[in-house]
């Protein structure tokens, strides 16, 4: 050891311990982009379930169009379309049981909220600037829209933990995006969920964008699902434009959670086909060629092809659905537009359960000033 300057490399049982992750894993897929099921398995869903799911996707697409038009006419505020993410949202939402499970939304999951008991009327109310639109109907297991990205993740974990604490068998599915996954709240929530084996599903919709920021500028991770390993629970990457893949992954996650096995992180890789919201101009930053690629993967077209091929969906059936949807949307809009609108003093309502004297005085002053 006298000439300890030798430079041979160390050897140790290094191999098992080094975690590298450079391979980009392929998402789980059941339904091919052309609507076929390559491995020949028959997705085990009842026909009515398939039609209900398809209808909800159709409705979502239609609301996007309608609401975008209304926004342009100044009849509605800025909102964020679901366009392109219908399989991801509907596939996950329909794997939940609205009677006992909870949905914790971000702001781009309207069909999941509708499926859970939210109403289109409230949707229109909300985007017309009526706070009532963010009050979920009593008994409906839904938290309100969340504007502050990723802050709902700790809520979802607490909610799931609380259900379990009370011996309830509900599961919580919380939605967020590739952008939100960079926030510290994501990490803290996942870590706590792992510790408490909370019955929560982290439904990460990786739609390629956070406003104008592409996901490659959001993270160097080859997959976001891979992060689950660092919290001691499974993560799964699925093709988010494949209704079946999302439905299946969510169903398994629900089963795990219900059985007390804890959380799952699902990364649904999808694509935001529209603008970030109606105030955004994606032509400033989206490569049209990339958009074309994704247009060919449209989740709605894909599911339709499958349903038509399997004989579940006929042209007339879809036509009938469209007519119904049209009426539903028109009815909800009319109801929202007929709504008296918020009373000014509503600014003061629901701030506290027991209103401080100063706030009561401010309320009176406002009312006097009107």
Partner 1 sequence: MPVLNMVEAIRATLAAEMTRDERIILLGQDIGRNGGMFRATEGLQQRFGEDRVVDMPLAEGVIVGSAVGLACSGLRPVPEIQFLGFASQAFHQLEGQVARMRFRSQGRFPIPVVIRAPFGGNVRTPEMHSDAHEAKYANSPGLKVVMPASARDAKGLLTEAIRGEDPVLFCEPLRGYRLIKDEVPEDDYATQFGRLRTVREGSDVTLVAWSAAVVVAEQAAELGAAEGISCQVVDLRTLVSLDAGGLGEAVARTGRAVVIHEAPLTAGFGAEVVATIVEEAFWSLTAPIARVAAPDTPYPISSLEALYVPSAERALRTIRRVMQAG
Ligand X SMILES: Cc1ncc(C[n+]2csc(CCOP(=O)(O)OP(=O)(O)O)c2C)c(N)n1
Considering the rule CB under 8 A, would residue 289 count as an interface residue with a copy of itself? Answer: no
Angle at 68 between CA 65 and CA 70, to 5 degrees: 110
Question: For strand 213-214 and strand 209-210, is the pairing parallel, antiparallel, or unpaired?
Answer: antiparallel
Is residue 276 among the annotated active site residues?
Answer: yes
Residue 92 sits in the site that holds ligand X (CB under 6 A): no
- CB 171 to partner 1: min, Å: 12
Q: What gap in Å lies between CA 349 and CA 53, rounded to an integer?
A: 37
Residues 179-208 that bind partner 1 (CB under 8 A): 179-180, 182-185, 187-189, 191-192, 195
Q: Is 291 exposed, middle or buried (0-12, 13-18, 19+ CB in 10 A)?
A: middle
CA distances 65 to 127, 248, 296, 321, Å, are 14, 29, 19, 16
> Count of residues for the chain?
370
Question: Interface with partner 1 includes 257 (CB under 8 A)?
Answer: no
Q: Which of 232, 274, 341, 342 touches a copy of itself (CB under 8 A)?
A: 232
Known catalytic residue at 352: no
Calpha distance 110→119 (Å, rounded):
9
Q: Does 121 participate in binding a copy of itself (rule CB under 8 A)? A: no
Specify whether the CB–CB gap between 263 and 20 falls below 8 A. Answer: no
**Restricting to residues 188-207, which ones interact with ligand X according to CB under 6 A?**
207
Select 13 or 73, whichever has its Cβ closest to a copy of itself: 13
Q: Which of residues 177-236 bind Mg ion (CB under 5 A)?
A: 177-179, 207, 209-210
> Is 343 annotated as catalytic?
no
Q: Which residues does 140 contact at the CB level (< 8 Å), separation at least 6?
A: 98, 116, 117, 118
Rounded CA-CA distance 88/66 in Å is 21
**Number of amino acids touching partner 1 (CB under 8 A):** 75
Q: Which of 24, 100, 165, 285 is catalytic?
A: 285
| Backbone angle region of 356, left / alpha / beta, with phi > 0 → left and psi within -120 to 50 → alpha | beta
Q: Applying CB under 8 A, which part among 15-23, 36-44, 217-225, 248-256 lies near partner 1? A: 217-225
Kindly indicate which of the ranges 11-19, 43-51, 139-147, 301-309 contains the residues binding partner 1, using the contact rule CB under 8 A. Answer: 139-147
Q: Decide if residue 98 touches partner 1 (CB under 8 A).
A: no
Catalytic residue ranges: 272, 276, 285
Contacting residues toward Mg ion, per CB under 5 A: 177-179, 207, 209-210
């Amino acid at each position: 050891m006298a000439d300890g300057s030798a430079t041979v490399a160390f050897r140790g049982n290094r191999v098992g311990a080094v975690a590298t992750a450079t391979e980009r894993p392929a998402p789980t897929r059941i339904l091919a982009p052309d609507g076929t099921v390559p491995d020949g398995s028959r997705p085990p869903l009842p026909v009515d379930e398939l039609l209900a799911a398809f209808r909800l996707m159709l409705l979502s697409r239609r609301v996007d169009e309608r609401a975008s038009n209304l926004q342009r006419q100044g009849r509605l505020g800025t909102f964020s379309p679901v366009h392109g993410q219908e399989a991801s949202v509907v596939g996950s939402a329909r794997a939940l049981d609205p009677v006992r499970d909870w949905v914790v939304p971000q702001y781009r999951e309207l069909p999941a909220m509708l499926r859970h008991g939210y109403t289109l009327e409230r949707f229109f109310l909300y985007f017309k600037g009526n706070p009532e639109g963010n009050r979920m109907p009593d008994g409906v297991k839904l938290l309100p829209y969340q504007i502050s990205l990723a802050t709902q993740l700790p809520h979802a974990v607490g909610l799931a933990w609380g259900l379990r604490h009370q011996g309830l068998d509900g599961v919580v599915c919380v939605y967020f995006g590739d952008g939100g996954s960079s926030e510290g709240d994501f990490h803290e929530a996942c870590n706590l969920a792992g510790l408490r084996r909370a019955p929560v599903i982290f439904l990460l919709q990786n739609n390629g964008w956070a406003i104008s920021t592409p996901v490659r500028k959001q993270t160097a991770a080859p997959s976001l699902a891979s992060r689950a390993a660092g919290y001691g629970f499974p993560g799964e990457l699925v093709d988010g434009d494949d209704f079946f893949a999302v439905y299946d992954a969510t169903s398994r996650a629900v089963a795990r959670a219900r059985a007390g096995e804890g959380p799952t992180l699902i990364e649904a890789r999808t694509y935001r086909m529209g603008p970030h919201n109606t105030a955004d101009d994606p032509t400033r930053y989206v490569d049209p060629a990339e958009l074309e690629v994704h247009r060919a993967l449209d989740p709605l077209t894909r599911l339709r092809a499958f349903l038509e091929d399997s004989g579940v969906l006929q042209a007339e059936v879809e036509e009938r659905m469209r007519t119904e949807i049209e009426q539903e949307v028109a009815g909800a809009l009319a109801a929202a537009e007929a709504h008296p609108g918020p009373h000014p003093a509503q600014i003061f309502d629901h701030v506290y359960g027991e209103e401080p004297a100063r706030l009561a005085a401010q309320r009176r002053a406002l009312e006097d000033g009107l």
